[in-house]
Each structure stands twice: as structure tokens, then as C-alpha cells.
Amino acid sequence: METEFSKLNISDENSNKDSNLESISHKNCSNCNKPFTEELWCKECDPFKMIEGGFAKVYSATWIDGEARYVKQDDGSWKKTNPYPKKVALKRLNGSQNMSAEYLNEIIKILN
């Protein structure tokens, strides 16, 4: 089955020494038909963005390492179980890259 991602023509490093951007066939977004503005999709149709509000953007993400879980052994020790990927919501606050250490310390106080 052919998907939008499988239509991309990405060559390996040995066949083309030019930049990866030159080796991608530039197609249009399957959602809105605009040219790709990000690496594989247009910015407006970011497949990972779920919600955008005045203060934050919420994305769907997969936490590859998953949640840490432990099982108590017969000898009283604890053993970490094998992690499994977990679907999570990732929230990015607008302007969060410019937060001061003082502001972050106030947030920590509120959460504790």
C-alpha cells in the first residue's frame, strides 16, 4: 500500500553526496494540497499537533521508553519491567523557551 511517506524519493548517503533536501521529491500535502513547508508535511497540517490555544500547543506523541514499572522480587529487591511505548499528550507553552529560572522555581513551588 502506497502512502504519502512512501512516495518520497530519499536516496541513501552513497548515491548522492548532496544535501538530503535535494534528494526529497517535493510533493504537496495530502491534506491541503500546499507544498511541504516542514520536512515531510506542511506546517498547517502537522500530523502531530492536536490543539492550539492562546497559551499553548498540544501535540500527540509516543513516549518510546514508556512508564517506569518495577516488580518486587522474592528476595525483596526490585526489577524494572521491559518498557513499552506509551501514547501521551505533550503540551508546549507559548514563550516557554524564554522562561527565567526564577519563574520556573515559582512553578516548582506551586506543584509541590
Cα(77)–Cα(86) distance, integer angstroms: 26
Please state the domain count of the chain: 2
Domain that holds residue 3: 1-46
- Both 112 and 64 in one domain: the answer is yes
- The reply to whether 41 and 63 lie within a common domain is no
pLDDT of residue 77: 96
**pLDDT value at residue 78:** 94
What are 38-67's pLDDT values in tens digits? 555 555 656 666 666 677 778 777 777 778
Contact at 8 Å (CB) between 43 and 57? no
Residues 21 and 54 both lie in one domain? no
Closest CA to 30 of 16, 8, 45: 45
How confident is the model over 12-18, as a mean pLDDT? Answer: 42
The pLDDT, as a whole number, for residue 82 is 86
Strand, coil or helix: what is 108?
helix
Q: What is the pLDDT of residues 21-40, one digit of tens each?
A: 444 455 666 556 676 655 55
Whether 4 and 38 share a structural domain: yes
**Mean pLDDT, residues 69-86:** 90
What CA–CA distance (Å, rounded) separates 35 from 32?
9
Nearest to 49 by CA among 92, 86, 7, 85: 92
Interval 81-111: pLDDT, tens: 888 888 888 777 777 777 788 878 887 888 7
Same domain, 111 and 92: yes
The predicted pLDDT at position 43 comes to 59
pTM value > 0.85: no
